[in-house]
A and B are shown apart, each in its own frame.
Chain A
Amino acid sequence: MSEIAFARSIASEVEPANLGLSGPSALTTVLLIARITFREAVRRRILVVAVLAALGFLALFGVGVHAMLQNMRLKQGLLQQREAVAMMSTMALYAGSMLTSLMAALTSCDTLSGEIASGTIHAIATKPVRRWALVFGKWIGFAGMLSLYVLLLEGGTILIAWGQTGRILPHTGEAIGLLWVQALVLLGVSLAASTRFSAMTSGAVALGLFGLAFVGGWIEQYGALQHVRTCVNLGILSSLIMPSDALWRRTAFRLQPPLLGSAGIGPFSSLLIPSTAMVMYAIVYAAIAILLAVLLFERRDL
């Protein structure tokens, strides 16, 4: 054993004190905060409620599909049945993506803003931890939980559809990936807002932007149908401000079975399909949101 290690071992026997430590490493901090974020969701019952909502959703969907198929089996062929299930699954995924986005925004809007408002942050930010690691740790914690949630909700929906028809929808992996990015976009915005604003305001910012994208998507679709360039441009602009709806429309497009043509305007068909570039933009957007959160928190007086 080297002299220093030996001296340290003696010192720790005599006085288990601060041996000139300079604080935890960045990775340790990030993991510590991520774990505590997860523990918070469990202990404050957020996770339980969210999971119960998801299970209720899946149960409703499962029963609905089953009932529909039972009805159809007598009158219609396999092809129509599969199309119907595909349609219903897309509807369910649309609702599911909204539920996930809501969860992403509402569970994370309170995290930093609540701690700043209550003063809980004071005893934490004065420890030898890097501020960016605190924000990033929270993001990892929430992103981890959202990932599992997407797998449960959206993955569960797809599995139920497969279970009922024996046929899986096309590009389900990509669909789940896109909805995962959508959740992370909302998470990023909510987290960034919560470094500056109260919990309610942060939630309102995230959901307000979501609503903006939602309306913008409809305007863009209408513009495409009616050949109104301005509407299309407005829609594109809204997608740049908040790419959540663009991500859904690409998901819907990728989930369309080849035989199901675009059935007119609706959330389950895309006349204007967001490009891969838009998906890349959304990923960068989510990353920038975190960077913004880190920067804002770094500068903020607590």
Chain B
Amino acid sequence: MLVRPSGGHGLLLGHPLGSREVRARIGFLPEHFRFYDWLSAAELVTFHGRLCGLAESHLRRRVPQLLERVGLGAQASKQIRTFSKGMMQRVGLAQAIVNDPEILFLDEPSSGLDPAGRKLVRDIIREQRDRGATVFLNSHLLGEVEKSCDRVAFIRSGEVIEEYEMNAWQNGSLEVEIRVRHLSPEAMTWLAGNTEDVRVEGDRVQVRVASEHHLPAMVRCLVECGAEVFSVTPQRVSLEDLFLQTMGPDPGL
């Protein structure tokens, strides 16, 4: 536990928050991921592994594998003071998963990283999830959250404002943009009756449908009414839009 809570209590893996034993089963990448920069990457991950209670012999095998996995195989014996931010983040991820945690906490792991770094974070999250771990991702980069997470919670001042199941939300109603010419009045009537929020701008028509299962019927109708359909593009409401809708334009976070 880094900070004493102002109130309340909680359980982590069945143990009270702050219990020492349960910390052996979690991994944590802090927001500023700073480490002893006079150690080499291998020495640092080994050090953190020893802090988890792992044996030296086990770490001698595991650390090279881990560093290889995060793309630092060639830099294992270089001192961290020579590392770029992206490389530091990779070391950070390695130390966070050295003990094969059941829960992995990542605090802003992608901020300030290039696309390769962000992809690595997403890959690690997916791998951890696939091995059965739970990943807690704290991030302002909603694009990354959208790609990586199954459930999302918006928090303001320590309170959960809203929670979403990503699958359910993405399988729900969606906006569709259709590029179409020669839209007949019958087609328009059908659209008005079977979709919502129809907006026409030149050759682009924006509609909202209840689910993507309605799309084939809509396209068939348009084609049968003589329209020339160039593209049908589902436009999911981005998580960012959802965030701004839920939290307001200036949540003052």
Q: Give the residues in chain A near B117, CB-CB below 8 Å.
A: none
Q: How many chain B residues touch the partner (CB < 8 A)?
A: 40
In the bound complex, do residue B54 and residue A21 qualify as a contact, i.e. CB atoms below 8 Å apart? yes
Selected interface stretch from B94-102, B145-153, B221-229: B94-102
Q: What is the interface residue range for chain A against chain B?
A: 20 to 34
* Chain B residues at the A interface, C-beta cutoff of 8 Å: 1-4, 20-26, 28-36, 38-39, 47-48, 50-54, 58, 61-62, 79, 92, 95-96, 99-102
Q: Give the residues in chain A near B2, CB-CB below 8 Å.
A: 122, 125-126, 301-302
Q: Give the residues in chain A near B33, CB-CB below 8 Å.
A: 119, 123
What residue in chain B is nearest A36 (Cβ atoms)?
Answer: B47
Q: Give the residues in chain A near B1, CB-CB below 8 Å.
A: 126
Q: Give the residues in chain B near A36, CB-CB below 8 Å.
A: 36, 47
- Please name 10 pairs of A and B residues whose Cβ atoms are closer than 8 Å in the assembled complex, sorted by A: A22-B24, A32-B51, A40-B36, A120-B35, A120-B36, A122-B30, A126-B30, A127-B24, A127-B48, A302-B3
Known: A44-B38, A127-B24. 17 other contacts (CB 8 A): A16-B58, A18-B54, A21-B24, A22-B53, A28-B53, A40-B36, A43-B79, A122-B34, A123-B33, A123-B35, A123-B48, A125-B2, A126-B1, A126-B28, A127-B52, A128-B23, A128-B51
Assuming A18-B24, A22-B24, is B32 touching A119 (CB within 8 A)?
Answer: yes
Q: Once bound together, how far apart are the Cα atoms of A295 and B21, in whole Å?
A: 21
Assuming A16-B58, A18-B99, A23-B53, is B32 touching A122 (CB within 8 A)?
Answer: yes
Which residue from A21, A128, A301 sits with its C-beta under 8 Å from B4?
A301
Query: Does A198 have its Cβ within 8 Å of any Cβ on chain B?
Result: no
In the bound complex, do residue A40 and residue B38 qualify as a contact, i.e. CB atoms below 8 Å apart? yes
Q: Once bound together, how far apart are the Cα atoms of A299 and B26, in whole Å?
A: 22
Assuming A119-B32, A123-B35, is B20 touching A32 (CB within 8 A)?
Answer: no
B50 to chain A, nearest CB (A): 5
In the bound complex, do residue A128 and residue B24 qualify as a contact, i.e. CB atoms below 8 Å apart? yes
Q: What 9 A-B pairs are tightest by C-beta distance, nearest first?
A: A122-B30, A127-B51, A43-B38, A128-B23, A22-B21, A119-B32, A128-B24, A17-B100, A21-B53
